[in-house]
Amino acid sequence: MLRSVLEETLAVVARPRIAPAVRSADPLFSLVTREFRDAVAAIVRDNETYKVEGSVGRGNWAETAWVSVFDLNITDSATRGVYLVYLIREDGERIYLSLNQGTTSVRRRFGHRYREMLQDYARDYADHLPHNQLTDLVQGRIALGEGRTALTPGYEAGNIAAIAYDRGAIPDDDVLATDLRRMLALYSVLAEIELRGHEQEDAPDAPDLLLVSTHEPLTLEERRQFGWHRRAEGRNRRASRDAKSYHGYRCWVCDVDYVERYGSIARRCVDAHHLVPFAALDERPQRVDPVKDFAIVCATCHRLLHAETPPLTIDAARKLVAA
């Protein structure tokens, strides 16, 4: 199925659009945002960890249409972070399956130097991947036709490693599925690096799984569970705020009421810690209860709780603090 979708996409993308602006009635829109996306999702088969999305642009047609796989532990958008993406040349001659980077965030930070920085980052990321698994992949800049806007040159410069599929030479479905799973395995290596590297960026609001003491590589299941924990504590801001509003700002471990002692500014020094050890869960919880599922802890005690894997219990941390 994926082979036929790729072949049809390459045939359709080179044809004139039915209107200057994106229209859902255009064949390319349906192909990329539904059929291509669904064919990829059927191979990925993990909508808890990954989000699969296709885009042909917003408002105006994109020069480079794409279908991406985002690891939700690190990103859910093509504007930032590392992700896996099928990049479709505008002339319909080639599709790349690329480990790539968010262009928009790098461009905002570095301005006209964004391509240079994306290439530097790409080399750094590639250095963390098993070299024997990269020898037959396209490393460094890929050729998408350069483009009239900043995004296509960004995709070209941001490539870490890629597989190229040329029009008229698309392999069969088994090869395409094997390629996708291979690239997902490489993506998981980079996702773990990103996950650990966000420790300082996310503190104090989400000092959770990134503070684990082990330096052993995380298994895929551990990464999923830790990712659930991270999003429950750090990304679910509303549940965190609701938990603090209900329980107050006294740390359950060291028994210090930070707001009482330091005033309202100290609200940022207090976190909502998820009580259920995510390593014990088989599936990601669908709903988070701010009253039952969270404990209130100061940032220091929160780091203490996550000094071990699985996290310490509140009672165990209390005993350490008391001692």
**Residue 196 and residue 227 in contact, taking contact as beta carbons nearer than 8 Å:** no
Q: Are 168 and 132 in contact (CB under 8 A)?
A: no
**Residue 131 DSSP SS3:** helix
Q: Name the phi and psi angles at 299, rounded to 5.
A: -60, -40
DSSP H helices, 14-150, are: 27-30, 37-44, 103-110, 114-127
Residue the block writes with tokens 């028994």: 255
All structural domains of the chain = 2-195 (3.30.920.90), 199-322 (no CATH)
CA distances to 91, 146, 153, 154 from 150, in Å: 18, 9, 6, 6
> Which of the two residues, 231 and 188, has the higher pLDDT score?
188
**Model pLDDT, residue 277:** 58
Return the ∠ at Cα 151 (arms to 111 and 29), rounded to 5°.
Answer: 155
What whole-number distance in Å separates Cα of residue 157 and Cα of residue 62?
17
Two tokens, residue 250: 């006294």
Q: What is the pLDDT of residue 200?
A: 35
> Nearest 5°: phi and psi at 190?
-70, -35
pLDDT at residue number 288 = 63
Per-residue model confidence as pLDDT tens digits over 82-97:
999 999 999 999 999 9
Global pTM exceeds 0.85: no
Task: Give me the pLDDT at residue 62, please.
Answer: 92
Mean pLDDT of all residues in 149-154:
92
